Structure formats: C-alpha cells, structure tokens
Structure 1
Amino acid sequence: MFGRFLLSGGFNTLVTYVLYLLLLSCFSYQISYTISYCLGVVLAYYLNRVAVFKSHRGLLSLLLFPLVYVAQYLLTGSVLWGLVVQLGLDERLALLVAIALMVPVNFLLSRKIFTRKI
C-alpha cells in the first residue's frame, strides 16, 4: 500500500510541481504554491481513492480528505517559508524539500481517512 502511495504521490507531485514552476513566471511563490496545491488535492483524492487504498468511507472520506490537506498545506507552507526566508534556499527547490518532509504525515492521515486502519 505504501508503494502505491509513493507512486501516486510521485505522479501528483510531478504534476503539481510542474504547474508550480509554470505559475512562478506570473505569481509569487506563495500564490503559485496555493494554486498548484489546490489542484493537487483534487488529483490526490482521486488517486488515493482509486489507486492507493482502493476504497473509501463514503461521505466521511470526501469530507475529511480536504481537512488533511488544509493541515498539510499549513505545515508545508510553514516549512516552505522557513526554507526560503530563513535558510535562503531557492524557492524552486524548497518546495521539493518541504514535500519530502511531509510524505509520512500525509500517508498516515490519508490511510486513516480511506481505511479503518490506524
């Protein structure tokens, strides 16, 4: 299950990262991150439901999934800010580092939403 999560997450990350890079030519890193992140949530819900966990808990998973991503957005955004502003990391690379740090948190919360496993 974790392998499927990594593959679908890798695909989702690639799609949202390319979108983030494209948006950087028009917007700040914060706005680019927000737009690409929101579109990534929609893709992630579909991939997690269909390819990773191959199940869902009805309306409960539909309602809770965005809450996981709100929490992850805030955490990742804070890490992104720290990497760019505090550490001076290039904003194109900083998002990849922040995403990598959030993978275990995302997996555990997503698994909790789509299955009854703790």
Structure 2
Amino acid sequence: MGVAKAGLMQAVRFAVGGGANTVLTLLLYWLLLNWFPYSIAFTISFLVGILSGYAINTLLVFRAPWSWHKLMMFPSVHAVNYCLGLGIIFVSVDVFGLPARWAPLIATSLTLPVNFLLTRWLILRPNRQPGG
C-alpha cells in the first residue's frame, strides 16, 4: 500500500475512532452538566477522552504497539487541543451566547485537524525510551 493510501486509511480510521470517542465524551459531558458548570464538565470528559482516545488511536487507527511512554506523553500533546477547545467553548457560550450543550461540537470540529496531526506524530514516532 502506498504512503498516500496508508495516510488516507489512517485518516478514515481516525475519523471513525474519533467519532466514537467524541460520542463517548459528549455523552459524559452532557451527563456531568447536571452537577457541574460547563468548564468542569468539559475538563472531566476531556480527560476521559484522552485515555480512550489513546487506546483507540494506538490499537485501531495507527495499529502501533502500545507504549507506556507515549501514553504518558499523550496528554501533553492534547494540551494544545484542550486549550483550543476550551477557548472555542468560552467564545461560543460567553461571547456568542450559544447553548453550552452544543459548544463542544463546534470546538471539536475546529480542532480536529490539529488533533489528527499531533496524534499521528506522537503514536508513529520511534520510541525514545528503552522498553517504551
């Protein structure tokens, strides 16, 4: 399989796996809104999404070996997505007056390309830690 076709297949698997992970985290976010303000609900659901996202991306999307080192690095790569996402949610809710329930959909769609590139870079790069 050529490099371009492999990349396309990864992008398709990323979209499907990411879609499933997004549904999981969105449902959790909506559930948590019953008890917490949107910023805390988003933070908790985002953290759960990091763990499930690493598993989905490693095993299904990029079909790479599991690495504890990369799992520990995964949150630092996604810190960029968190900051972008929370900023977009803040602007959506507090500036544009959109419902807090729907703001994560906007954030997710706008941060998706950054998420794919950073995730692919992390998971497919060579291990730099012995026993990775």
TM-score by length of 2: 0.83
> SS of 1:92's equivalent?
coil
Q: Determine the structure 2 residue equivalent to 1:72.
A: 81
Structure 1, gaps ≥5 residues long: none
1:104–1:110 Cα change, 3 Å:
same
Task: Output the CA distance in 1 between the equivalents of 2:122 and 2:52.
Answer: 16
- Please provide the CA RMSD for this pair: 1.5
Structure 2, gaps ≥5 residues long: 1-9, 126-132
Task: Output the CA distance in 2 between the equivalents of 1:18 and 1:112.
Answer: 28
Whether 1:24 aligns to 2:33 is yes
Q: Determine the structure 1 residue equivalent to 2:111.
A: 102
> SS of 1:105's equivalent?
helix
Task: Output the CA distance in 1 between the equivalents of 2:72 and 2:46.
Answer: 17
Task: Determine which structure has the larger helix proportion and give its number.
Answer: 1
Deviating runs (4+, > 3 A) in structure 1? Answer: 56-60
Q: In the TM superposition, what is the alpha-carbon distance from 1:115 to its structure 2 partner? A: 1.2
Whether 1:63 aligns to 2:75 is no
Amino acid at match of 1:67: S
Most deviating of 68-77 and 52-61: 52-61
- For residue 48 of structure 1, the aligned residue among 57, 70, 90 is 57
Q: Identity, % of aligned pairs?
A: 39
Amino acid at match of 2:45: S
Greater relative contact order (CA < 8 Å, ≥ 6 in sequence): 1
For the pair shown, the structure with the greater C-alpha radius of gyration is: 2
Task: Output the CA distance in 1 between the equivalents of 2:84 and 2:65.
Answer: 25
Amino acid at match of 1:24: L
> SS of 1:91's equivalent?
coil
